[in-house]
Amino acid sequence: MRGPHNILRLIRTGATLERTGAMGAVMEAFEAPKPLRILARTIVWPFRWLGIKGDPTMPPVVRALNALGPAYIKFGQVLSTRPDVVGSDLAKQLRVLQDELPPFSVAEAKKAISTELGTPADTIFSEFSEPVAAASIAQVHKARLAETGQVVAVKVLRPGIERAFRKDVDAFYFAAGFVEFFLPSSRRLRPNDVIEHFDGVVTGELDLRLESASASEFADNTQNDAGFQVPRVLWHYSGRRVMTLDWAEGVRLGDNDALDAAGHDRHALGSRVLQLFLSHALRDGFFHADMHQGNLKVASNGDIIAYDFGIMGHIDEYTRRVYAEILYGFIQRDYQRVAEVHFEAGYVPADRNVDEFARALRAVGEPIFGMDAAKISMGRLLSYLFEVTERFGMETRTELILLQRTMVVVEGVARSLDETLNIWDVAKPVVGSYIKDSIGPKALANDLMKTAKVLARFGPRLPALVEGALIAQVTPEEPKETRLWPAFAIGAALGGAVAAAGFWAALALF
């Protein structure tokens, strides 16, 4: 599929931007130099007739992205949370991409439900509304269960969405390969790996059974989080193309006028949404990775309600500790420690100079911390950090892409609620608490206890493992003392690990 025919797809992308009038708006939003604007439009103009017209009632950029397909719409959703990047006017226009796209018919939705669940939709639901929200991949209906009378939200995939999305991603793969071939310097950024990661994430969003599982796990993890709610999944009414949950009533988080009218404290909401994200990412290693305004509501009691769990992020415990140390180092302005963590984790090649890297990081952090609170930006920090790590040979960390992207989105959401929010002051207690719990004697005791449990499971097999190591190492040419060292080493390591685990576990009790 990834053949030259994708050139036409990419040309059509540029042509659609030009035909819908979005090219100029995009260039203006990103403050592109005038020569670049002239060059881009000169190249694209001959192909303008290939562009898709789109819906003329929509603003130009929204019209173009909506016409180009679901992958482009996803990109627009991210930009809608970044008024500091694209400007407040364009960000406001792009928010319609979150859940206000043209819907498909109720008849098509009911047909999909009946096919998926094996029972006519009218038998399952006594009431079934017109779409209440329509996004790039699915739309949501408000319904009432015929059996219990419970009000629920029913999410249904768009007809043919899998094929439409595959066409977009196929073109992205082609573009990534093209860039890697003609710009060898870009290989450090691993564009193909980045697209593969994006592909995997959104492909998972096309199976609502996986989203149901994510929602269930997320609800279990966050059930004790104050001021936060996750709707319950109704498994008997869910499948691959249909998902049914408790109905969540509330004000959309992006509607500031409605939030003010309801008496909600927007500063407190902005602080909480950022702290919740950091807590979920660091504490649980499992976080909502699509936390734009279209996926968040505020209940009448002030609780934040999250929904749409198609894109979730997962990071292992070691990576969480590394990321927390880097973030906390910037908060504390301890650039030497931030540099050391990059080297310890292997993110920066060992042959580079750690002190020079620390000075480069200082050049990243200090200008940001010197800004007014309203201008301090995690997004800007990540952008500057990217430039520095490029100079020191750091490769793109695909396992952190989703985390970094979500942090930028969540920051945009928090800033849209209160533009004076000091992001670093809000993040400091959450990151500091995680550092305290995950690095130190208590954390070491927990790690050793986990090691002891693993060793205990292999207890009956340890003698055979030691004997096998002895037999494998013994050769006629080696002195007897040398042959015994591997067995002694294995025995000492196992015994030492168990003893250390017991010691630190006892210490932790006190």
Least confident of 111-125, 142-156, 358-372, 396-410: 396-410
Mean pLDDT of 427-437: 84
pLDDT (0 to 100) of residue 5: 64
Alpha carbon 204 to its chain centroid, in Å, reads: 13
Query: 309 with 408, same domain?
Result: yes
Query: 459 with 427, same domain?
Result: no
Q: What is the token pair recorded at 258?
A: 């409605």
Residue for token digits 């995950």? 438
Which of 59, 77, 99 represents a domain boundary (last residue)?
99
Residue 199 domain-assigned (yes or no): no
Q: Which residues constitute the domain of residue 445?
A: 441-509
pLDDT (0 to 100) of residue 117: 95
Cα of first residue to Cα of last residue in the chain, in angstroms, is: 62
CA 341/CA 124 separation, integer angstroms: 55
Cα–Cα distances in Å, from 168 out to 3, 9, 102, 402?
13, 8, 19, 19
Query: Highest-confidence range of 172-186, 298-312, 474-488, by mean pLDDT?
Result: 298-312
- pLDDT(316) > 50: yes
- pLDDT(286) > 60: yes
Query: Highest-confidence range of 125-129, 167-171, 187-191, 253-257, by mean pLDDT?
Result: 125-129
Least confident of 156-165, 192-201, 292-301, 337-346: 192-201
- pLDDT(212) > 50: yes
Residue 67 domain-assigned (yes or no): yes
Query: 457 with 502, same domain?
Result: yes
**Closest Cα to residue 402, out of 318, 315, 327, 317?**
315
Local structure of residue 393 (DSSP, 8 states): T
In this predicted model, which residue has the larger pLDDT, 374 or 300? 300
> Total structural domains in the chain?
3
Query: 392 with 256, same domain?
Result: yes
Residues with Cβ within 8 Å of 16's Cβ and at least 6 positions away in sequence, in order, are: 22, 51, 52, 54, 64, 67, 68
Query: 323 with 467, same domain?
Result: no
Query: pLDDT band at residue 145, thresholds of 50, 70 and 90?
Result: very high
CA 370/CA 367 separation, integer angstroms: 5
Query: 383 with 458, same domain?
Result: no
Q: What percent of the chain has pLDDT over 70?
A: 73
Which of 423, 439, 455 represents a domain boundary (last residue)?
439
Residue pLDDT, tens place only, 94-115: 777 766 677 899 999 999 999 9
Query: 283 with 401, same domain?
Result: yes
**Closest Cα to residue 502, out of 458, 439, 457, 449?**
449
- pLDDT(330) > 70: yes
Q: In 10 A of CB 508, how many CB atoms? A: 15
Query: 394 with 291, same domain?
Result: yes
Residue 140 domain-assigned (yes or no): no
Residue 24 domain-assigned (yes or no): yes
Mean pLDDT of 443-472: 70
pLDDT (0 to 100) of residue 70: 77
Query: 280 with 360, same domain?
Result: yes
Residue 71 domain-assigned (yes or no): yes
b (16+ CB within 10 A) / e for 285-302: bbbbbbbbbbbbbbbeee
Residue 126 domain-assigned (yes or no): no
- pLDDT(365) > 50: yes
Query: 422 with 329, same domain?
Result: yes
- pLDDT(435) > 50: yes
Q: What is the dihedral of CA 444, 446, 449, 455, to 10 degrees?
A: -80
Q: In 10 A of CB 10, how many CB atoms? A: 14
Mean pLDDT of 445-454: 70
Which of 439, 470, 485 represents a domain boundary (last residue)?
439
Residue 60 domain-assigned (yes or no): yes
In this predicted model, which residue has the larger pLDDT, 472 or 289? 289
Catalytic residue numbers, as ranges: 290
pLDDT (0 to 100) of residue 315: 87
- pLDDT(487) > 50: no
Q: What is the token pair recorded at 219?
A: 């609800």
pLDDT (0 to 100) of residue 501: 43
Query: 265 with 375, same domain?
Result: yes
Query: 358 with 297, same domain?
Result: yes
Residue 344 domain-assigned (yes or no): yes
pLDDT (0 to 100) of residue 351: 87
pLDDT (0 to 100) of residue 447: 65
pLDDT (0 to 100) of residue 263: 94
In this predicted model, which residue has the larger pLDDT, 84 or 99? 99
Query: Highest-confidence range of 218-227, 369-378, 450-459, by mean pLDDT?
Result: 218-227
In this predicted model, which residue has the larger pLDDT, 70 or 402? 70
